[in-house]
Structure 1
Amino acid sequence: MSIPKPTHRWLIAILLLSVLLRVGVALLMGDHVVELPGTQDQISYHALAIRLLTGHGYSFDAGWYPFTPANTPTAHWSFAYSTYLAGVYGVFGVHPLMARLIQAVLVGAATCLLVYSLSRRVFGERAGLVAAGIAAVYTYFVYYSAALMTESFFMVAALAGLEMAYRLVEKPSLGRAALLGLCLGLAALLRQAILPFVPVLFAWLLWTNVRTFQRSSARTLASLLIAGTVLIACIAPFTIRNYRVYGRFLLLNSNAGYAFYSSNNPALGSFWRSENSVAPIPADLQGRNEAEMDSALMRRGIGFILADPGRYALLTLSRTKEYFKFWPSSDSSLVSNLQRPLSFGLLLPLTLYGLYLARPQLRRWALPLLFFAVTAATYLLSWPTARYRVPTDACLMPLAALALIDLYARLLAGRHAQANRQSL
C-alpha cells in the first residue's frame, strides 16, 4: 500500500494511539481470565488452550456449555483462536496477559491500516485518515482487542478479505485470488458466520469484473476458483477431523444449530430477552455427539419458525433493537452502558449522514455495505448481541469520516461568515 509522505506522520500517530489504548486495556484485564461484560467466551478459549497444551485436544475436563461432556472432543469453539492461544501459552507459559498484549498490538495496528486503506480507496486521503482515527478510539474495538475471543482477529481477517477483493478487481492475478481465499479461510476458522457472505462476495467480483470492467468471464471465474479452493483448503482439515471424530459430516463448528434452536425457542415468545435465550437441550437428544446435535437442533429451530412464522417475524424485529442498541439500560453493566453511547451511539448518526453525503459513490462502497448487511442478517435471524456487530462497525467508519469532514467544513464556513459580518 503506497502512502503519500504528508500522510505518514498522521497515520503513525493514529497507529501509536490505537496500540497504546489497546495495550492499556490489556494491562487492566490482566494476567487472569474472569467473566467481564460481553466476554464470557474467553473463559472457554482459555480452558481449551490449556487442554490443547497438555495434549488433550479440543476438549474440556468438565461438562461445558452448551452440550459438551467432559473429556470428549468438541467442535463448538473456533479452532483457529484456540490454537493461537495455546501457541502463546506454549511459548510464554500460561499467561493470558501475554496473549492480550500480542493481540492488542497486532489488531490495533492492522485495524487502523485496513480501515484507512479501504476508506481512502473510495473517499480519498482525508477520509482514510479520519476513519482510521475513529477506529483507533472506538471503544468497542479497544475493549475487544484485549479480550481473549475471536472478535478482533475475525474483524482483521474480514477487512483484509474486503481489501484483497478490491485489489483483485483493480489488478487481477492468481496470487491475489489466493490471498483472498486465505483471508476468507482464516475468517471462517475464527468465526464461521463469514460463510454466508462468501457467495455474495464472489457474485460481486463476477459482476464488477464482467459488467463494469468488461473483463473475460473465464479469467474472473478462474480467480474465483482459486480463491474458493484456498478457502476450502483452510476448512477441509477440520471437516475431516470432525468426520473422524463424529462419524458424520460437520463442515466446521457445531454452534450454528444450537444458536438457531435456542434463539427461536417458543419460550421467548415474540420478544427477545437475552436472559431467556439459553434453552436446555431436549431430553431425547441428550447423549448424541456434537455433529448429530448440531443438525438435529437446526431442524428443530426451523420447525419453530414454520410452526409460527408470525411469532418469528416479531421476534426478529425485537432482536433488531437488541443488535443495534446504543442506549444505556438498567439490566446492563456500567461498562456496557458507557460503551454503547460512546461508540455506536456516536457512530450511527454520523453513518446515516455519511450515507446521504456518499450517495454518488455508494456503488463503489457496495462491498463493505454488503458485508455489513449479510452479517447483520445472519445474526438477526438467530442470535443478536452487540459484540457480533463489532466486525461490521468498521465498514461504517468511512461513512462516519465523510460526515465529520463535512460537518467540520460547515463549522469553518460558519465561523468565516461570522467573522466577515463582524468586520463589516
Structure 2
Amino acid sequence: MKTLARDEFRAPWLPFWIALAVRIVYMTVAHTWRFPAIEDHFSFGHEMGRIGHALATGYGYGDPFHGHTGPTAWLPPVYPLLIAASFKLFGVYSNLSAWVLLAINSLFSALTVRTVWEIARRSFSRSVATWSTWIWAIYPAAMQYAVKWVWETALTAFLFSLVLVLALRMRGIGEERHESPTLGEWLGFGFVWAVIALTNPSLLLFLPICGLWIVFGCPLRDWQSQAVKAVAAALIFIACVAPWTYRNWKSLHAFVPLRSNFGVELYLGNGPGSDGLEMGFEHPYMDPGQFALYRSMGEVPYSKMRGDKAKAYIGQHVGHFLHISLLRAYYFWAGLPRTTTRGVMKEYGPDINFDITTLLGLFGLALALRRRIPAAGLYACAFAVLPLTYYAVTISARFRHPLEPLMAIFTVYLIQSAEKRWTIWPWR
C-alpha cells in the first residue's frame, strides 16, 4: 500500500453536511421527535430520560424509574447530563427537547462520516474511503438510532470510531514518515477513552488491546518512553473517571466505578426462565413487585441481590447458560427474533438487511486479514472483544452499532475486491 503524508487523510466535508442534512430532515418530517406521553413519557429516553428529568427538576442524579427513589448510578453520566441540559433549556419532555436531542444524535452520526473516511483511507484506499463515507452518510440503517432513539447509541459509535482513528494516527498507519506517538497524543487517547467509559463502559474491554497495539507498534528503542506516556494516558483516564466514582461512593455508600446495574442485567438475561432474550417483564420499570424491592432495598443492595441469584442459577445450570450465551452470540450477528407480525417487508426487510451487512462485513474482515491490510488485526480484535459482555448478559440489535462503521468499510472493500476479480476473469 502506498504511504501518504498525514494531511492526505483529511476527510471531505461534503458527505458530512449531506449526512447531517439527511438525518435532520428525516427526523423532522417523519415526526420521530414526537414521543408518546404514556407511562409519563417513559419512551422519551427511558431510564436516561428519567435521570435527566430528575436533574432538570432539582432532584439530582437519580430516579431512573418511577417517582423519586433517590441517587442512582444505573447509567453513566454523559448522555443523561445531555438530556438534562436539553430539558433545562427547552422544556422537560417537550417536543422541542426531543427535536434538539435527536438533532444532536444526528450530529454525532454525521461526524462518524469523517472517522469512517480516515479509517478507510489509512487502511485501504481513497476509493474504499469514498464509498464507505457515502454509505454511512445516506444509508437508512446507519442513521436509524440517531433519528429515532433518545439514547447514547450514536454517540458511542462516533466515540469508538474516533478512538480507532487516534490509534491509527499514533501507529502512523498509511503514512510516509512516522514518529513515535507524542505525549499529547497519548493524553488525548486517555481522555477519549474516559468519555467512552462515562458513556458506555461495555467498550472498555477493548481499551488494553488498543493501548498495547499502539505501544508494540513503536520501535523497540522507544518502548520505555512510550510506556511512560501510556501511564500518563492512564492517569488522565483515572482523573476523568474518578469524580464520578467518588460521587457514587458518597451518594450510594458503595464502590461503584461506573454503573450499578450489572447484577440486575445479569439476572434478566440468565435467571430462571431465561431464553437468550432479556426478561423485561421482571425489570423494575415493568414489574411493580421488583420496583417495590428496588425502592425498599436501595439500588446497590438490590442489584447485588439479583446478581447473586443469577450467579447461583448459572452455577446450577451451566449447560443452559452456555446454550443461551451461544443464542445471544447468534442474535448479536443475525438479529433478534421478531415477536410481532407487521407485513412481509416490515417483518423480513430489516432482518435481511441485518444479516447481509453482517455477512459482508465479516467476509470483508476475513479478506483484510488474509491480505494483511494495515490494522486488520486491531479491527478483528474489536469484532471479537466488543460483543463478549453481551453474549454473557443481554442482547439488543443496537449493541452492534459501534462496529457498524467498520462493517460498512469492510463491505465496500469486499465488493470492490470482487469487482476487480470479475473484471480480469474473462482474460484468464
> Is residue 263–residue 278 contact of structure 1 (8 Å, CA) maintained in 2?
no
Corresponding position of 1:73? 71
Match of 1:2 in 2: 7
- Equivalent in the alignment of 1:367: 378
Give CA deviations for 1:91-135 in whole Å, capped at 9, x if unaligned.
34442112211321x223311110111111111221111222222
Q: CA distance change for structure 1 residues 23 and 336 in 2, over 3 Å: closer, same or farther?
A: farther
Once the two structures are superposed, the pairs formed by residues 247-266 of structure 1 within 5 Å of their partners are 247-266=253-272
* Contact kept in structure 2, 1:188 and 1:195, CA below 8 Å: yes
Give yes or no for the alignment of 1:291 onto 2:297: no
Check the 8 A contact 1:181/1:228 in 2, yes or no.
Answer: yes
Question: Is the aligned partner of 1:272 residue 2:271?
Answer: no
The residue aligned with 1:19 is: 20
Aligned to 1:188: 197
- 2:323 is the alignment partner of 1:321: no
Q: Which amino acid aligns with 1:393?
A: E
| CA distance, structure 2, for counterparts of residue 108 and residue 248 of structure 1 | 36
Instruction: Indicate the residue corresponding to 1:119 in structure 2.
Output: 120
Question: Does the aligned pair in 2 maintain the 1:239–1:251 contact within 8 Å?
Answer: yes
The answer to whether structure 1 residue 400 and structure 2 residue 401 are counterparts is: no
Give the letter for the 1:160 counterpart: L
CA displacement at 1:243 relative to structure 2: 0.6
Shift in Å, 1:34: 3.7
C-alpha distance 44-246 of structure 1, shift in aligned 2 (>3 A):
closer
CA distance in 2, matches of 1:183, 1:150: 15
CA distance in 2, matches of 1:160, 1:31: 27
> Partner residue of 1:153?
155
> Does the C-alpha gap of structure 1 residues 276 and 46 become closer, same or farther in structure 2, counting only changes over 3 Å?
closer
Query: Contact 2:269–2:279 at 8 Å: present in 1 too?
Result: no
Structure 1 spans left out of the alignment, 5+ residues? none
Q: Specify the alignment match of 2:184 in structure 1.
A: 175
RMSD: 3.0
Amino acid at match of 2:153: E
| Distance change in 2, residues 1:63/1:397 (3 Å) | closer
* C-alpha displacement of 1:182: 1.2
Q: 1:109 to 1:285 in 2, by over 3 A?
A: closer
Aligned residue type for 2:84: A
Contact map agreement 1:182 1:230 (CA 8 A) in 2: yes
Q: Is the 8 A contact 2:69 2:295 kept in 1?
A: no
Return 5+ residue gaps in structure 2 as ranges.
1-5, 173-179
The residue number in structure 1 matching 2:48 is 45
Q: Cα gap change, 1:393/1:274 in structure 2, threshold over 3 Å: closer, same or farther?
A: same
Aligned equivalents of 1:322, 1:299: Cα separation in 2? 26
Q: Which amino acid aligns with 1:272?
A: G
The alpha carbon displacement at 1:324 in A equals: 1.6
Aligned equivalents of 2:8, 2:184: Cα separation in 1: 22
State how far apart, in whole Å, the 1-side matches of 2:263 and 2:190 are: 26
Instruction: Supply the distance in 2 between the matched residues of 1:98 and 1:299 (Cα, whole angstroms).
Output: 41
Question: TM-score, normalized by length of structure 2?
Answer: 0.83
Q: Contact between 2:336 and 2:396, CA under 8 Å: does it hold in 1? A: no
Kept in 2: contact 1:328–1:338 (CA 8 A): no
**Residues matched between the structures, number:** 398
Q: What's the % identity of the aligned pairs? A: 21
Shift of 1:166: 2.0
Q: How does 1:85-234 map onto structure 2 within 5 Å?
A: 85-93=83-91, 94=94, 95=96, 96-104=98-106, 106-146=107-147, 147-170=149-172, 171-209=180-218, 213-234=219-240
- Taking structure 1 as the reference length, the TM-score comes to 0.84
Decide whether aligned partners of structure 1 residues 332 and 288 sit closer, same or farther in structure 2, where only a CA change above 3 A counts: farther
Q: CA deviation at 1:366?
A: 1.8
- Structure 1, 12-21 or 246-255: larger mean CA deviation: 12-21
Q: Distance in 2 between matches of 1:307 and 1:277?
A: 23
1:345 equivalent among 335, 351, 355: 355
